[in-house]
C-alpha cells in the first residue's frame, strides 16, 4: 500500500516536472518571439521607414534603393550588438546573483563592470590599443577585480553583505579612475566618453560584435553545460558539497565564465547601467519559482538593451545612449527592491 | 571614600585625555598651516619664500608672484570645502548612528549636482548665488529621500540599506543629469567644467557668496555636538535625558545639508572626505562630538589641501581633479571600515 502511494506520488511529481518543463519551454519560445519582433521593429523604423517586404529583401542580400544602407549599415549592427551584449549582461548578472544568493550582488553594483571598463578605457586612451587586445585586457581586469573583491571581503568566510559593500567602495575608486583617464583625453568627443560612463551602442559595427558572439558561445555554453551543479550550489555550500558537487572547481568556473561574459560585452558597449542587475530578478518574476532562470535572464537582457536603445533613439526628445535609459529604469527598481525587502523584513 | 577615589581617577583620566586632546589640537592646527604653505608653494611651478611673501601681499610683478596670487584663493577654498565636508560627514555619521554615512555615499552630493544642472538647463541659471540655493535644495531633498527609504521597515537605517539607497539615488540622479545635459550643447560645456571644476578655478569673488551658508551650517553643526552625544546613546535614552530627539536630529541634519550643498555649488561633487575624516579623528580624540566635530573640520581641510597638492604634482604639467584623489584615498578607508566590523553590525 505504501508502495502504491509512493508510485502515485512519484507519478504526480513526474507530471508536475513535465508540465513545468513545458511551461519553461513555452516561456522561452514566447520570449524568443518577442526578441525577434522587437528586432524587426528596430530594423524597420527610424527616420526613414522600411516596409516588411523591403526589410526581408534587404536581409536576403538584395539591393534595395533607399533602404539598404540604413538597414544593413546602421540599424543591423546596432541591433545585433544590442542583443549579444544584452544576453551577455543578463546571463553574467544572473550567475552572480545565483552564486551569491543575493539580487544586489550583480556585477555592475559590485564593481566588476567598472573594473573592465577602466581597463578598456586605459588600453584605448593611454596605450592606443584596439580590437581583441582591448577585450582581453577587459576580461583580465574584470577577473582581477572579482578576485580582489573576494579577497578583501574574506574574513573567516565571505558574507554577501560585506562583499557588496567592498564592491561599492572599489567601484567608486574605479569610476574616478575612468573619469581621470577620460579627462586626459581632451580630443575625445563627448560621445566616446559617454560610452565609458553609461554605456552605448552608437556607431556599432558587425566586426565589434564578433568577440561578444564568441564569448557568448564559449562561456554561455560552459555555464549551461554545468547548470545542474549550479542548481545544487543554490542550496548552499554545505548541501552542495553533500550532494557531491566539486564546489571549488565549479564555483571558480562559473565565476570566471560570468566575468568573461560581462567583461567582453563591457569592452564593446561600455558598462550599460543595470542590465545585468535587472535581468535576473525580472526573469525570476516571469519564470516563477524553480530553476535559476538562465536563458530567460539572457533574453530579458537582450530585450532591455533593444528596447532601451530604441527608446533612447526614437521615443524620447533628443537622442540618448542606451545606458541613460536603462539607468533611469534600474534605479527606481533598486529602490523598490530595498523598500520591499524592508517590508518583508528580509535582508535585501 | 572609594567613590571619591574613583571619581578622582576618572577625573584624572579625563583631564589627561583632555591634555592629550589639546596637544592633538595643536598638532592638527600646525599641520593645517604647513599644508597651506605647501599648497601655496608647490605646483607645476615651484616658487621661493620671497615670492610667497610678496605674492601674499598682493604684488604680481614676477611670474612666481602671480602664481602665488592664484594659489591663495584656491588654498582658502580647499580649507573651507574640506572643513565643511569633514564636519558634515561627522554630523551625518552622528545623526544616522551609522559608520558609513558620507555625503557622497548617501547620494546628497549627487542630488545637489542634479539640482544645479536642472537649474542651468531649465531655468537658465548663470550666477553662483542661484547655484547655491538650488544645490542646497537638491542636497536637502536627496538627504530626506535616502534617509526615508533607508530607514523604512524593520531594523531601522542599517548601513547596508542606507548605502544601497544612496547608491541607487546617486545613479538615478546621474542618469537624469546626463539626460538633461545631452540634448543641450549650449550648456554641456558649462556643466562639464562645473562638474570637473574641483577647486582649481577658485577666486575670492566665487567664495564670498557661500560664506554665510557655510557659517550658518558650521554654527548649527557645532551647537548640536551635545545633542549628538545624547543621540549616540539611542533615541530612548536621549529622550530620557531631556533631548528633543526629532529637533536635535533635524537641526544637525540641516546644518550638514547646508555645508554639503554650499560646497557642491562651488566645487562640484567631492566624495569620501566626509567618510574618512571623522574615522581618523575618532582614533585621535575619541567619540565625544564636542571634540570630534572641530577636529573633523580641521582635518577635512588638511585632507583636501593635500589631495589638491598631490593632484597638482602627480600629473605635472596638467592637474588631477581633487575629487579623483580623494576617491583614491577614501575608498581604501571605506573598505577597511567595512572589514573591521562584524557582519551583524552592518
CB contact under 8 A, B335 and A169: yes
The model's pTM: 0.77
Give the confidence band of B340 by pLDDT, cuts at 50, 70, 90. Answer: confident
CB contact under 8 A, B182 and A166: no
CATH code, B72-345: 1.10.3470.10
User: Considering only CA atoms, which of A272, A334, A312 is closest in space to residue A117?
Assistant: A272
Are B190 and B197 within 8 A, CB to CB? no
Please classify residue B224 by burial: count the beta carbons closer than 10 Å to its beta carbon, then call 0-12 exposed, 13-18 middle and 19+ buried: buried
Q: Is A223 on the interface with B (CB under 8 A)?
A: no
Which comes out higher in pLDDT, residue A164 or B26?
A: B26
| DSSP helix/strand/coil, A167 | helix
Instruction: Name the grid cell of A28.
Output: 522561452
Most confident of A155-164, A261-270, B166-175: A261-270
CB contact under 8 A, B338 and A169: yes
Considering only alpha carbons, which residue of chain B is nearest residue A319?
B183
Q: How far apart are CA B91 and CA A314, in angstroms?
A: 46
Residue B346 with chain A: CB contacts under 8 Å: 161-162, 165
Q: Is B343 on the interface with A (CB under 8 A)?
A: yes
Point out the residue among A179, A318, A319 whose CB comes nearest to the CB of B324: A179
CB contact under 8 A, B179 and A324: yes
What is the pLDDT, as a whole number, of residue B346?
Answer: 38
Q: Is B79 on the interface with A (CB under 8 A)?
A: no
What is the pLDDT, as a whole number, of residue B10?
Answer: 56
Top residue of B164, B170, B180 to mutate, by most chain A CBs within 10 Å, is B164
CB contact under 8 A, B178 and A198: yes
Instruction: Name the grid cell of B43.
Output: 605646483
Query: Is it the case that residue B8 has pLDDT exceeding 60?
Result: no
Top residue of A164, A166, A168 to mutate, by most chain B CBs within 10 Å, is A168
Q: Is A315 on the interface with B (CB under 8 A)?
A: no
CB contact under 8 A, B172 and A190: no
**pLDDT tens, residue by residue, B115-148:** 988 888 888 777 777 888 888 899 999 988 888 8
CB contact under 8 A, B338 and A330: no
Q: Is B66 on the interface with A (CB under 8 A)?
A: no
Most confident of A33-37, A328-332, B7-11: A33-37
Backbone angles phi, psi at A53, to 5 degrees: -65, -40
**pLDDT tens, residue by residue, B17-60:** 777 788 888 888 999 989 888 888 776 666 777 677 766 666 66
**pLDDT tens, residue by residue, B288-301:** 888 889 999 999 99
Residue A319 with chain B: CB contacts under 8 Å: 182-183
Q: What is the mean pLDDT of residues A186-197?
A: 61
What is the pLDDT, as a whole number, of residue B84?
Answer: 94
Q: Is B314 on the interface with A (CB under 8 A)?
A: no
**pLDDT tens, residue by residue, B186-230:** 676 667 666 655 676 677 777 888 899 999 999 999 998 888 888
Which comes out higher in pLDDT, residue A308 or B16?
A: A308
ipTM entry: 0.75
- The alpha carbon of residue B161 is apart from the nearest alpha carbon of chain A, in Å, by 7
Q: Is A342 on the interface with B (CB under 8 A)?
A: yes
**pLDDT tens, residue by residue, B149-188:** 877 766 666 667 777 788 778 878 877 887 777 777 667 6
CB contact under 8 A, B196 and A334: no
- The alpha carbon of residue B276 is apart from the nearest alpha carbon of chain A, in Å, by 12
Q: How far apart are CA A245 and CA B53, in angstroms?
A: 73
Query: Is it the case that residue A1 has pLDDT exceeding 60?
Result: no
Query: Is it the case that residue A235 has pLDDT exceeding 80?
Result: no
Domain residue extents for chain B? 72-345
What is the pLDDT, as a whole number, of residue A176?
Answer: 83
What DSSP string describes B79-118? HHHHHHHHHHHHHHHHHHT-TT--TTTTTHHHHHHHHHHH
Residue B114 with chain A: CB contacts under 8 Å: none
Other beta carbons less than 10 A from residue A10's beta carbon: 10
Give the confidence band of A37 by pLDDT, cuts at 50, 70, 90. Answer: very high
Q: Tally the domains of chain A.
A: 1
CB contact under 8 A, B153 and A177: no
What is the pLDDT, as a whole number, of residue A297?
Answer: 92
Residue B271 with chain A: CB contacts under 8 Å: 172, 176
> What is the per-residue burial (b if ≥16 Cβ within 10 Å, else e) of A230-251?
bbbbeeeeeebeeeebebeebb
The CATH number of the domain where A307 resides is what? 1.10.3470.10
Point out the residue among B152, B328, B346 whose CB comes nearest to the CB of A176: B328
Q: Is A190 on the interface with B (CB under 8 A)?
A: yes
Q: Is B172 on the interface with A (CB under 8 A)?
A: yes
Could you tell me where the DSSP H helices lie in chain A?
Answer: 2-44, 52-59, 68-69, 76-99, 112-121, 132-153, 160-183, 190-197, 206-225, 227-234, 237-242, 247-269, 275-287, 294-310, 322-344
Residues in contact with B316: Cβ distance below 8 Å, sequence separation at least 6, in sequence order: B44
User: Considering only CA atoms, which of B338, B226, B245, B235 is closest in space to residue B292?
Assistant: B226
CB contact under 8 A, B327 and A173: yes
Q: What is the mean pLDDT of residues A88-101?
A: 89
User: Domain span at residue A257?
Assistant: 2-344
Give the confidence band of B9 by pLDDT, cuts at 50, 70, 90. Answer: low
Q: What is chain B's mean pLDDT, rounded?
A: 80
Are A277 and A112 within 8 A, CB to CB? no
Q: List the single range of A166-175, A229-238, B191-200 with lowest mean pLDDT.
A: B191-200
Which of 146-165 (B) contact A at CB < 8 A? 149-150, 152-155, 159-161, 163-165
What is the pLDDT, as a whole number, of residue B344?
Answer: 40
Q: List the single range of A15-19, A30-34, B123-127 with lowest mean pLDDT.
A: B123-127
Amino acid at each position: 500500500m505504501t508502495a502504491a502511494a509512493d508510485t502515485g506520488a512519484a507519478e504526480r511529481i513526474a507530471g508536475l516536472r513535465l508540465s513545468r518543463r513545458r511551461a519553461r519551454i513555452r516561456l522561452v519560445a514566447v520570449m524568443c518571439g518577442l526578441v525577434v519582433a522587437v528586432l524587426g521593429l528596430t530594423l524597420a523604423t527610424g527616420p526613414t521607414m522600411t516596409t516588411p517586404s523591403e526589410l526581408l529583401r534587404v536581409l536576403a542580400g538584395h539591393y534595395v534603393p533607399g533602404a539598404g544602407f540604413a538597414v544593413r549599415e546602421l540599424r543591423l549592427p546596432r541591433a545585433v550588438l544590442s542583443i549579444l551584449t544584452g544576453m551577455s549582461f543578463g546571463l553574467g548578472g544572473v550567475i552572480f546573483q545565483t552564486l551569491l544568493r543575493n539580487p544586489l550582488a550583480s556585477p555592475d553594483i559590485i564593481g566588476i563592470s567598472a573594473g573592465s571598463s577602466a581597463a578598456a578605457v586605459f588600453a584605448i586612451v593611454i596605450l592606443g590599443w584596439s580590437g581583441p587586445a582591448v577585450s582581453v585586457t577587459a576580461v583580465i581586469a574584470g577577473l582581477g577585480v572579482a578576485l580582489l573583491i573576494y579577497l578583501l571581503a574574506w574574513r573567516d568566510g565571505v558574507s554577501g553583505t560585506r562583499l557588496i559593500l567592498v564592491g561599492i567602495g572599489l567601484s567608486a575608486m574605479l569610476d574616478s579612475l575612468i573619469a581621470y583617464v577620460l579627462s586626459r583625453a581632451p580630443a575625445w568627443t563627448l560621445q566616446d566618453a559617454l560610452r565609458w560612463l553609461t554605456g552605448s551602442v552608437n556607431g556599432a559595427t558587425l566586426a565589434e560584435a564578433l568577440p561578444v558572439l564568441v564569448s557568448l558561445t564559449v562561456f554561455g555554453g560552459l555555464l549551461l553545460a554545468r547548470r545542474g551543479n549550479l542548481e545544487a550550489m543554490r542550496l548552499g555550500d554545505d548541501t552542495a558539497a553533500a550532494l557531491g558537487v566539486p564546489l571549488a572547481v565549479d564555483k571558480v568556473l562559473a565565476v570566471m565564465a560570468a566575468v568573461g561574459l560581462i567583461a567582453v560585452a563591457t569592452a564593446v558597449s561600455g558598462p550599460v547601467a543595470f542590465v545585468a542587475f535587472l535581468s535576473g530578478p525580472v526573469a525570476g518574476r516571469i519564470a516563477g519559482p524553480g530553476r535559476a532562470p538562465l536563458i530567460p535572464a539572457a533574453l530579458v537582457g537582450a530585450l532591455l538593451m533593444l528596447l532601451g536603445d530604441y527608446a533612447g533613439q526614437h521615443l524620447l526628445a533628443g537622442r540618448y545612449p542606451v545606458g541613460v535609459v536603462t539607468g533611469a529604469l534600474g534605479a527606481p527598481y533598486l529602490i523598490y527592491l530595498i523598500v520591499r525587502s524592508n517590508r518583508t523584513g528580509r535582508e535585501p | 571614600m572609594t567613590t571619591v577615589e574613583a571619581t578622582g581617577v576618572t577625573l584624572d583620566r579625563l583631564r589627561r585625555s583632555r591634555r592629550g586632546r589639546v596637544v592633538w589640537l595643536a598638532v592638527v592646527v600646525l599641520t593645517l598651516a604647513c599644508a597651506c604653505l605647501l599648497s601655496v608653494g608647490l605646483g607645476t611651478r615651484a616658487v621661493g619664500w620671497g615670492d610667497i611673501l610678496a605674492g601674499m601681499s598682493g604684488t604680481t610683478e614676477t611670474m612666481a608672484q602671480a602664481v602665488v596670487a592664484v594659489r591663495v584663493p584656491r588654498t582658502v577654498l580647499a580649507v573651507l570645502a574640506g572643513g565643511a565636508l569633514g564636519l558634515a560627514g561627522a554630523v551625518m555619521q552622528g545623526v544616522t548612528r551609522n559608520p558609513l554615512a558620507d555625503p557622497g555615499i548617501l547620494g546628497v552630493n549627487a542630488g545637489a549636482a542634479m539640482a544645479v544642472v536642472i537649474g542651468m538647463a531649465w531655468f537658465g541659471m548663470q550666477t553662483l548665488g542661484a547655484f547655491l540655493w538650488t544645490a542646497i535644495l537638491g542636497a536637502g531633498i536627496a538627504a530626506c529621500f535616502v534617509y526615508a527609504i533607508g530607514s523604512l521597515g524593520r531594523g531601522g537605517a542599517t548601513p547596508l540599506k542606507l548605502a544601497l539607497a544612496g547608491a541607487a539615488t546617486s545613479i538615478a540622479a546621474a542618469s537624469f543629469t546626463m539626460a538633461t545635459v545631452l540634448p543641450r550643447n549650449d550648456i554641456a560645456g558649462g556643466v562639464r567644467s562645473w562638474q570637473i571644476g574641483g577647486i582649481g578655478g577658485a577666486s575670492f569673488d566665487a567664495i564670498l557668496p557661500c560664506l554665510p551658508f557655510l557659517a550658518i551650517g558650521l554654527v548649527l553643526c557645532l551647537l548640536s555636538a551635545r545633542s549628538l552625544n545624547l543621540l549616540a546613546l539611542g533615541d530612548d535614552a536621549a529622550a530620557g535625558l531631556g533631548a528633543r530627539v526629532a529637533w536635535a536630529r533635524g537641526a544637525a541634519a540641516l546644518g550638514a545639508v547646508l555645508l554639503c550643498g554650499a560646497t557642491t555649488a562651488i566645487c562640484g561633487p567631492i566624495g569620501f572626505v566626509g567618510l574618512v575624516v571623522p574615522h581618523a579623528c575618532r582614533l585621535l580624540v575619541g567619540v565625544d562630538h564636542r571634540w570630534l566635530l572641530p577636529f573633523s573640520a580641521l582635518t577635512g581641510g588638511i585632507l583636501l589641501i593635500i589631495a589638491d597638492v598631490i593632484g597638482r604634482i602627480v600629473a605635472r604639467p596638467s592637474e588631477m581633479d581633487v575629487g579623483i584623489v580623494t576617491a583614491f584615498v577614501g575608498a581604501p578607508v571605506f573598505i577597511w571600515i567595512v572589514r573591521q566590523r562584524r557582519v551583524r553590525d552592518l
